[in-house]
Structure 1
Amino acid sequence: MAKMSVLVLGGTQFVGRHLVEALLAGGHRVSVLTRGRTPDELPGEVERLRGDRDEGEAGLSALAGREWDACVDVSGYTPRQVRASAGALRDRVGRYVFVSTVSVYAEQARHPIREDDPLLPEAAESVTEVTGETYGPLKVTCERIVGEVLGERATILRPQIVAGPFDPTGRYTYWVDRVAAGGDFLAPGDGSDFLQVIDARDLARFTVTVLEEGVPGVFNLSGPRLSWRDFLDTVREATGPGATPVWVDAATLEAHGLRWHDLPAYVPANGEQGGVMNVSNDRARAAGLTLQDPLTTARDTRAWSADHPQKVFLTREREAEVLRAVGEG
């Protein structure tokens, strides 16, 4: 396999960091374009470029006169950003891989969700604020821009919730850390709902495969679909059996005012968004996606998070309050 020069837009955090490491492991040369605002623990052989796509073409002067075999965009959230980078790199890269999201799908109650399912209406290219409401529509617009500008040289990746070491969101890590802390803990539902994530390292390896083999198209990236009971059993195996789940059904959770922002990654299987935990990865697996064992993801995430305090979604005090109320009921 010929070694490539790859430009990563972003690259110092989480998905980008794992991608850079996977590219280096494959012997490829890596440049990253960042704003320089976040900690950079990348290996020394990575070329650092500075730029800000929010400034349009003027913010990409560091790319002037340069060419790469491929580009991976892990940090494009608004049309302004992606329009600038896709336009600037149209004639300077072979393949442009855009990391999107499964949040682009309009009918999130479908089981399973596949790549050809309907998408949300696009956000206007003038929208620059990323919120829970605009995130999906903005990514739909960004996908369209990349496809228009790069054509067959574009590849779109739509990952599920991404998990693993270096995760700044804490959505998956919350559960790993809570189980590791021991004691009775609030477990959402009755154990029969589903959780589906993608290990960041699996995403990174597949991206390298796409680059090395020049794979076009659109791909959902999702990992094994586990029931919540199996997921929490896996986490207990990874962290130790000292924690005991206390299952609290969705209606009771709602009655106590607990929502998704309190119980990250929990989605009732029969709810309006139940399909986001049933995302088909058939197309990606046929193209070379391989998956870590869920136990490996849990163990490695905890090995990292033990020394890196994470965001707390449901405080221990609030959790205890709800468990007491449930027990008294």
Structure 2
Amino acid sequence: MGARVLVIGGTGFIGSHVVAACVDRGHDVTVFSRGRRPVTPGAASIVGDRRRPGPATRADLETGWDTVIDTCAHTAVDMDVSQSIPAQRYLLLSTCGIYQAAGLSRIADESVPVNMHSVARGKVQCERRAALLPAQSLVVRLGVVTGPDDPSGRAAYWIDRALRGTGVLVPARPDQPVQLVDVRDVAGFLAAMVDSEHTGVVNVAGSITLFAEFIDLIRAAGHGESEFHWAPEQFVLARGVRPWQEVPLWLPTDHPFRAHLRTGTDRATQMGFVDRPLSATIADLISWYRTHRYRHPHWLTLDREQALLRSIGGS
């Protein structure tokens, strides 16, 4: 008999995969969301706003659960409703982006201090609130998550470029690390943690590869005819191109978040986490991309990219 699992926010990119993994493991899953998107087949639904739950919603939430998986707590106020949900275990999704990375070459493990002034400071507050819950809590700090349906488009950007058949600007150094984890592996790990006894904090991120290897994997899997041009990062920065936003996965050498691309995951491995080869994730992403042709509005435009390439003699 599976556990009674409540997934808060289980209809987004990560949450829907978590729900599916829990259902596949035979758990009795209920999703608590605002009802804007359909719930994964096999799961029940409670519709409401976690910040303003009405009496009926509270009554549904307070029936008692073996495990709560919270996929969408972003600020301390989001945790208010969590205090009234009776559960034996509480799994909170957080981010490796909370670490104080300035001056570090890597995030060695979970003992690295967190940065209360980071863009993810709300997650720090959520973690602290989770530690005060009566339930056993496990905080899962995620690295860069990707996979089919990824709305961030971080990996899809490079697939899009590879398949276009044009020149591609690559401002990252060939030896810059890339650390991507497949959303399905994250979901499987969380589903396995439902009935485990692990508590505390754990980093969950993918295996580390180099940017040049990442590009080679995409070129090999996509059979595209684009030509990739490695450009000096200072040249590109001087022309106002925004790392990570306009050119996803690129962080300049002196960027304070660069250490987040080398995050230690020894504890996750000891707890049973296994990530699939990056080549497998890329192959599935390419199949998804060929169907959906997803493009993010923040990406560097093709016209601007080609102008930059002309200025360095790359097209």
TM-score normalised by the chain length of structure 2: 0.93
Alignment correspondent of 1:280: 264
In structure 1, what is the equivalent of residue 106 of structure 2?
112
Q: 1:321 aligns with which of 294, 297, 307?
A: 307
Displacement after TM superposition at 1:35 (Å) = 0.4
For the structure 1 residues 62 and 179, does the alpha-carbon distance in structure 2 shift closer, same or farther, using more than 3 Å as the test? farther
Q: Report the counterpart of residue 84 of structure 2 in structure 1.
A: 88
Deviation at residue 278 of structure 1 after TM alignment: 0.5
Query: Following the alignment from structure 2 to structure 1, what is the Cα–Cα distance between the partners of residues 34 and 102?
Result: 34
- Tell me, in whole angstroms, the C-alpha distance in 2 between the residues paired with 1:108 and 1:57: 43
Instruction: State the match for 2:295 in structure 1.
Output: 310
Q: What's 1:127 paired with?
A: none
Write the distance in 2 (CA, Å) between the matches of 1:323 and 1:255. Answer: 14
Distance (Å, rounded) in 1 between the aligned partners of 2:234 and 2:218: 25
Higher alpha-carbon deviation: 45-54 or 153-162: 45-54
Q: Note the residue ranges of structure 2 that are not aligned, 5 or more in a row.
A: none
- Structure 2 vs 1, CA of residues 175 and 108 (structure 1 numbering), >3 Å: closer, same or farther? farther
1:42 corresponding residue in structure 2? 40
Distance 1:246 1:59 in 2: 58
For 2:218, which of 211, 218, 235 is the aligned residue? 235
**How much has 1:109 moved relative to structure 2?**
4.2
- Extract unaligned runs of 5+ from structure 1: 123-132
- Structure 1 ranges of 4+ moved more than 3 A: 56-60
Q: Displacement, 1:172?
A: 2.1
Aligned to 1:149, the other structure's residue is in SS state coil
Alignment of 1:93-242 (within 5 A): 93-113=87-107, 114-121=109-116, 135-150=119-134, 153-242=136-225
Counterpart-to-counterpart distance in 2, 1:62 and 1:168:
33
CA gap of 1:246–1:67, structure 2 versus 1, over 3 A, is same
User: Aligned ranges for residues 245-264 of structure 1 at < 5 Å?
Assistant: 245-260=228-243, 261-264=245-248
In structure 2, relative to structure 1, the CA distance for the partners of 1:145 and 1:245 (3 Å cut) is same
Q: Find the counterpart in structure 1 of residue 279 from structure 2.
A: 295
SS at match of 1:110: coil
Q: For residues 200 and 148 of structure 1, what CA distance do their matches in structure 2 show?
A: 28
Q: Which amino acid aligns with 2:285?
A: T
Cα distance, 1:62 vs structure 2? 5.2
How far apart are the structure 2 equivalents of 1:109 and 1:259?
A: 21
- Count matched residues: 311
C-alpha separation between the residues in 2 aligned to 1:194 and 1:310?
24
Alpha carbons 1:111, 1:279 under 8 Å: kept:
no
Query: Which residue is equivalent to 1:55?
Result: 52
In the aligned structure 2, how far is the partner of 1:40 from the partner of 1:157? 25
Partner of 1:30: 29
> Compared with structure 1, are the counterparts of its residues 87 and 297 closer, same or farther at alpha carbon in structure 2 (3 Å cutoff)?
same
Provide closer, same or farther for how the CA distance between residues 268 and 60 of structure 1 changes in structure 2, counting only shifts above 3 A.
farther
Opposite residue 242 of structure 1, the aligned amino acid is E
Instruction: Summarize the Cα distance change of 1:69–1:322 in structure 2 as closer, same or farther, 3 Å threshold.
Output: same
The answer to whether the 8 A contact 1:35-1:51 is kept is: yes
Alpha-carbon distance change, 56 to 65 in structure 1, aligned in 2, over 3 angstroms: closer
Distance 2:234 2:15 in 1: 38
Q: How far apart are residue 182 of structure 1 and its match?
A: 2.6
Shift of 1:191: 0.9
2:227 corresponds to which residue?
Answer: 244
CA RMSD of aligned residues (A): 2.0
- Structure 1 counterpart of 2:68: 71
Q: What is the alpha-carbon distance in structure 1 between the residues aligned to residue 277 and residue 19 of structure 2?
A: 22
* Structure 2: distance between partners of 1:275 and 1:163: 19
| Matched-pair identity in % | 29
Deviations 1:242-278 (A, max 9, x none): 2221111210111111112111121134432210100
